[in-house]
Structure 1
Amino acid sequence: MAASVFASELYSRLFPTGDAGRLFSDSAEVRAMLLVEGALAKVQGEMGLIPVESAAFIHRASMEIPLDPGGLAQATGTNGVTVPGLVAAFRKALEAPEHAQYVHWGATSQDISDTAQMLRLRQFLALLETNLRKTLHQLGLLAHTHADLPMPGRTYGQHATPITFGATAAHWGAPLLDLLTDLPALRDGVLWVSLSGAAGTGAAFGPRAAELRAEFAKALNLKDPQRTWHADRGPILALCGWLTRLCAALGKMAEDTILLTQTGISEVTLGASGGSSTMPQKQNPVQPSAIVALARQAIGLNAILQDAGLHRQDRDGAAWFTEWLTLPQLCLSAASALEQATTITATLTPNPAAMSSALSGTLDLIHAEALSFRLAEHLPRPEAQAAIKTLCKQAIAENTPLSDLARAAYPDLTLDDVFDPAHQTGQAPAEARAFAAATQNLIS
């Protein structure tokens, strides 16, 4: 088994990450850190903190000079962080000692590493938003098209009362819509620069430290947190929480899809399915199963990251390393789950015949609640419930539809609508249409 399925030649098609995978590579990390060093020098030059000529030279070189991540490995292993080796290699590559001395002026490794991470996370969230909008749009189409299509509602794995497939799609999508709504606030509360120096005091920057951080944030189009956050991992934890909610919502949809495609139910059909090495009849729900696995991984990784948010003193190497080990995997789990959900929702189709058969094939017992409420119009509610419960037991014992027994027992009651699924879906069609309307304009 590969150490990471996302980078594996064997498993990458089972757990695809799309363009997000490129953001969590050594080359992407090094490139982002160089851009941060260049932006820092540019702003410091504009503020007169370092020579303007040196600032311009460093900024231009940060966008042009490539550094081999492999060449930084030894220094990273020794120092426990990439930045010292990167700064040394960058200064050497500049071949201009008079300018190179101003690289990384006053910053600490964590400032560069955390800010570079935020540059990549900004791109990552943009990619997720695109796929999230696609998935919501496709769920909205399903909700609109099938708003009135009755199907069994199920609780504890048992038939409950009729709902509609459109409402099911809406219920899958509602938490995703909440997540999309939360994105602007998440970006404001997460995508921060870090520029606080060795122990978080900004002492090396002098009295203009706060001004420098603000200008640094503007240069990179990130937020100025207006404080030090070296040992406060709140932004990371907030992001992890959002990603875990995303995976949980997608995992719920995938779990339902697996159940709805299983033999004996077959109420939905997937656009693609997997085969067995020995059983020709198998059409396995591979993509939903992958999403469920990814959701479980995300939930576990989030627990590790929340624990790693407990830092000691002004910087905690062990907690920081734990974040490096787990955050990329959590991000890629979310990206892969959403990548597959986008495909599934574009090709998922309901099976109306199977839904209708399920509604009528259980002796009409799914309508027991509606029947009890109809009877409660003439009897106290507890008595009505008890009477219908007795009829349900009789229906099972005699293998006779509840509708036949009810009509015989209560010939004066109007019962046609009670046993018509189209009349017993409550607010499900309205919920489906409301969700469809909310997702109508999410993609151009």
Structure 2
Amino acid sequence: MAGAVHDSAIYHKLFDAGEASKLFTDSAEVRAMLIVEGALAKAQGELGIIPELSAAAIHRATLEIVLDAGGLGAQAAVNGVPIPGLVAAFRDEMQAPEHAQYVHWGATSQDIVDTALMLRLRQLLGLMEAGLKDTLTALAQLAKEHADLPMAGRTYGQYATPVSFGSVVAGWGQPLLDCLKDLQSVKSNLLVSLSGAAGTGSVWGDQAAPLRAALAKGLGLGDPGRSWHADRGPVLRITDWLSRVSVALAKMGEDLTIMAQSGVGEIRLGKAGGSSTMPQKQNPVQPAVLVAAARHAVGLNAVMQGAGMARQQRDGAAWFTEWMTLPQLCLSAATCVETARALTPGLAPQAEAMGQVFNQSQGLMQAEALSFHLTATLPRPEAQAQVKRLCKEVIADGGHLRDAAQAAFPDIDLSPVFGPEGQLGDAADQARAFAAAVQAL
């Protein structure tokens, strides 16, 4: 088995992260770091920190030169960072030492690596946003079409009160809608890092702040106005959001797994997997991927939080931990979004199976409604006690709560109580409100 499922020839299509996979490769990282070096030189040339002619030559070369990522490994092993090897290789490829001497002027490795990471995280968030919008559109259509379709509500795995399938779908979608609304704030953490060796920008003197602002503008990133070498908050706020998205999608995956299981059959998946030995199996593979990938993302986010405890002005161990953790977290979150995007359009509720549950439940889902209905003639505590007694009898002896209640209270009209359509509360309104909110995006 490969070190990570996203790098596996066998498993990468199962845990499909889509276009996000291209963002977390050695070649993508090298390309991003060269873009940062080029933008830095251009900004320094404009401010007169380095000769403008050299700045132009460096900027142009970063767009033209292709470096072999494999050639950086030996020096990265010695230095603990890829930048010294990258700068040396780039200077050699430029073949213009009079200009190349100004590459990476005053910057430190973390400035380049972190800023290059932010360029790739920006692309990741754009892909996640598009995937969430597609998923929400499909969920909104489902919620709107089935706003009034009654099904059993369950708490702790037990019958509760009736809900509608549309309201269940809205319950899956609302957290995703919240995440999408929060995304603009999350994007504000896409920041440049430029503060030099110990975070003070001492090499650039009073030009440090203008240079950081110019680099931010050139790359389309935010200017933090400070050093964040040892403050991993900008990265952690992004990983927190990725984890929230993953968890929200995994909740849908958990529900779908239960709804599709044998003996329930309340949902039909558009695509299901088979067994190597049992021909009858229709395995809920996509929901399982949602749950597994989310568990992975959540676990890795905990590691990221630990890596946020960086020592002093920079901490090699904390930074290395990010390198080992962050790419997989990002790809697992992207896997959740891509899987949900493919899964949701094929979901089909099974109304007949949902209806059969009401017959099998012996009327117990209407117990709460019955207790409130009886308060027209009984004090609330007594009504609750009577209904609880009737429920115990039905569970023990069989039969239906409607018949037991009618026998106990022959003079009370119980028709408003029994029948799922009349006990949905605001379930349909929840479904339609969610659909409208998605449409308003």
- Give the CA deviation at 1:414: 2.3
**AA matched with 2:179:** L
Larger displacement relative to structure 2 (226-235 or 290-299):
290-299
In 2: Cα distance, 1:413 partner to 1:84 partner: 85
Give the match for residue 87 of structure 1. Answer: 87
Give the match for residue 140 of structure 1. Answer: 140
* RMSD (CA atoms): 0.8
Matches within 5 A, 1:379-390: 379-390=378-389
**AA matched with 2:148:** D
In 1: Cα distance, 2:68 partner to 2:440 partner: 44
Give the match for residue 370 of structure 1. Answer: 369
Matches within 5 A, 1:6-21: 6-21=6-21
- Give the CA deviation at 1:349: 0.7
SS in 2 for 1:159: strand
Give the match for residue 167 of structure 1. Answer: 167
- Give the CA deviation at 1:169: 0.4
In 1: Cα distance, 2:100 partner to 2:119 partner: 24
**AA matched with 1:161:** T
- Give the CA deviation at 1:396: 2.1
- Give the CA deviation at 1:410: 1.5
Aligned: 1:248 with 2:244: no
In 2: Cα distance, 1:7 partner to 1:405 partner: 61
Gaps of 5+ in 2: none
- Give the CA deviation at 1:377: 1.9
TM-superposition CA deviations, 1:406-440 (whole Å, max 9, x none): 12222222222211111101111111000000011
Give the match for residue 325 of structure 1. Answer: 324
In 2: Cα distance, 1:101 partner to 1:378 partner: 92
Give the match for residue 31 of structure 1. Answer: 31
Count of matched residue pairs: 441
Give the match for residue 59 of structure 2. Answer: 59
TM-superposition CA deviations, 1:91-130 (whole Å, max 9, x none): 1110000000010011000000000000000000000000
SS in 2 for 1:439: helix
- Give the CA deviation at 1:6: 0.6
In 2: Cα distance, 1:381 partner to 1:333 partner: 50
Aligned: 1:280 with 2:279: yes
In 1: Cα distance, 2:214 partner to 2:295 partner: 41
Give the match for residue 336 of structure 2. Answer: 337
Gaps of 5+ in 1: none
In 1: Cα distance, 2:70 partner to 2:359 partner: 65
- Give the CA deviation at 1:441: 4.5
SS in 1 for 2:439: coil
- TM-score, normalised on structure 2? 0.99
- Give the CA deviation at 1:362: 1.6
Give the match for residue 406 of structure 2. Answer: 407
- Give the CA deviation at 1:253: 0.6
In 2: Cα distance, 1:334 partner to 1:195 partner: 28
In 2: Cα distance, 1:34 partner to 1:377 partner: 76
Give the match for residue 77 of structure 1. Answer: 77
In 1: Cα distance, 2:202 partner to 2:87 partner: 20
SS in 2 for 1:154: strand
Q: State, as a whole percentage, how many aligned pairs show the same letter.
A: 61
- Give the CA deviation at 1:398: 2.5
Matches within 5 A, 1:98-247: 98-188=98-188, 190-247=189-246
**AA matched with 1:205:** W
SS in 1 for 2:391: helix
SS in 2 for 1:416: coil
SS in 1 for 2:160: strand
In 1: Cα distance, 2:211 partner to 2:78 partner: 31
**AA matched with 2:122:** R
**AA matched with 1:371:** L
In 1: Cα distance, 2:402 partner to 2:361 partner: 11
- TM-score, normalised on structure 1? 0.98
Give the match for residue 50 of structure 1. Answer: 50
